[in-house]
Every structure is written in C-alpha cells, then in structure tokens.
Structure 1
C-alpha cells in the first residue's frame, strides 16, 4: 500500500513538473526584423570604420609630418582598396592602412602593399 502511494506521489509530481515546463516552452517572442537589420548594418559600418580596436593594420611610414603627407598622397594615388590614415603619436606621424579582422587578411594586403612600400609591416594597435 505504501509503495503505490509513493508511486502515485512521484507520478503526480512528474506530471505537474512537466506541465510547468511545457508552459515555459510554449512562450514565443517574435523577432523585430527592422531592429535586427539596423543592428546588422551598424555592426558592418563599425567593422569598416575600424571602431573595434582588436584589428590588425599596416604601417607604411613613421616620421616627420611633411614626409608622411607626401607618402599618404602617393599611396592614395595608387587607388588600392584599403583606406590610409595619417596618425600622430608624439613626436612623429604615422601612415596606417586598412583594418583587418585576421592576420591572414592583413598578410594578403601586405603582399600587395609591399610592391610599392618595402618597409611596410603589420601591427596590432
């Protein structure tokens, strides 16, 4: 008699427990498609603009301002797909090119850039 009472109690507990979880499993919240699209486009724009600091870049030059400006203009005239930036870190100016997610991506760009700039190298700022 005691044995059947325990089994009934266990079965009752399991049925209540499974009903409660089934109620949680049935909840559904639809995805806000416009908001999702906005977030994805923001992430892509941030990737392109280099807002993430854990990216690789290529340094073309480190030195005086006039020489840096000259090298930047010559690089920009090559019309390569990677954007160049003139940075200033006391006491010198630097020319950085591109923002790359992986070392492999940076290495591929460096091969092309080294055709014109032999001293270029990859750095992770």
Structure 2
C-alpha cells in the first residue's frame, strides 16, 4: 500500500514539474514560490525515507511465528530504529531502519549485531 502511495506521489511531482518545464518554454512566468514549495516537499520526503532507494538491515527471514518473535525481541531492546515486517511469498522478513547511505547502515549494523549476530545490510 505504501509503495503504491509513494509511486503516486512521485508521479504527481513528476507531472507537476514536467508541466512547469513545458510552461517555462512559454512566455508566461512561473511562480518561483510554487517551484520552491515542490522542491522543499521532495527534500522532506527524501529525509523521511518515503522513497525506497535506501539501505536497510534484515534481522530475520522465515515463517511468521519466527518473524513475530524476532520483531518483539528487537522492540524490547533500547534501539531506536523502526522495525517493519515485510512479506515476500512464502516468507516474512524483519527489516530495521532506513539509511541514506551504506556508512550509516554499517554504523547501525555494528550496534544491531550485538543482539542479532545474523543481521546484514541490504538495499531493497
């Protein structure tokens, strides 16, 4: 559901920017405030991790019962990264965090491996 919503948001932004570019070719002026507003929205969405081009850490891959246990175990720790349960037939995955670059993910992985030695970095 989130993937479809994010895709729709990106498509709307692309259409708006494309329309702005086409309009820029005409003699009419574009309101700079609209362009700046769109750019700031895109930057904030990027910071919030709305686009799925980020690194994450996988804690578990398998059946739902094990996934629930792994997620509960992670949430009982004092780590601040958000844990999500993803489903890819026929298995469930527990993913932690959304990191802009591999360095951020590697720093988090050092802490996570203390509790979850089989965790690893992936880029979905």
Tell me which interval the TM-score lies in, with the shorter structure as reference length. 0.5 to 0.7
How far is 1:81 from its partner? 1.7
Is 1:62 aligned to residue 61 of structure 2?
A: yes
Aligned counterpart, 1:96: 95
Q: Which residue of 2 aligns with 1:40?
A: 40
Shift of 1:104: 0.4
The gaps in structure 2 that reach 5 residues or longer are 1-29
**1:5-24 correspondence to structure 2 within 5 Å:** none
Are 2:71 and 1:79 aligned? Answer: no
- C-alpha displacement at 1:74, in angstroms? 1.2
Count of residue pairs brought into register by the alignment: 96
Runs of 4+ in structure 1 deviating by more than 4 angstroms, as ranges, are: none
After superposition, give the CA deviation of every residue in 1:50-72 in whole Å (9 maximum; x if it has no partner). Answer: 32222110000001101101110
The equivalent residue for 2:51 is 52
User: What is the TM-score of this pair, normalised by structure 1?
Assistant: 0.66
In structure 2, relative to structure 1, the CA distance for the partners of 1:41 and 1:30 (3 Å cut) is closer
> What 5-or-longer segments of structure 1 have no aligned partner?
1-28
Task: Give RMSD over aligned pairs.
Answer: 2.2
Residues 74-110 of structure 1 deviation map (CA, whole Å, 9 limit, x = unaligned): 1112131210000000000000001111110000000
How does the TM-score come out when normalised to structure 2?
0.66
